[in-house]
Amino acid sequence: MMHNPPHPGEVIKALCIEPLGLSITETAKALGVSRKTLSELINGRSGISPEMALRLSIAFNTTPESWLNQQMQYDLWELRKKKIKVKQLKAA
């Protein structure tokens, strides 16, 4: 488990968009999504769906699984911080 993983939107911005000198608008257009949709993802207000993972994988020559894994790691990290209370079940 990664320690304090970044939100996948930060990764997209830092490793995909900025190195290519792209704007959010240009990137959103290339991905076939609205500027608002991409902006919400980049700013950590939404997560990566399977569809977005596929779009990102095609645009940036990656795998959809890598994007979904990053989202899962981030989501699990956030949930673990909440210390969810669950009783462990055992066979009788």
For residues 78 and 53, what is the distance between their CA atoms, to the nearest angstrom? 20
Tell me the CATH number for domain 8-81.
1.10.260.40
pLDDT in tens, the chain (92 residues): 557 899 999 999 999 999 999 999 999 999 999 999 999 999 999 999 999 999 999 999 999 999 999 999 999 999 988 988 999 999 98
Q: What is the pLDDT of residue 2?
A: 57
User: pTM of the prediction?
Assistant: 0.88
Q: What is the pLDDT of residue 74?
A: 96
Q: What is the pLDDT of residue 84?
A: 87
* Counts for the chain of helices (H) and strands (E), in that order: 5, 0
Burial 60-83 (b: 16+ CB within 10 A, else e): beeebeebbbbbeebeebeeeeee
- Cα–Cα distance list, 3 to 20, 49, 66, 76, 78 (Å): 28, 22, 17, 11, 11
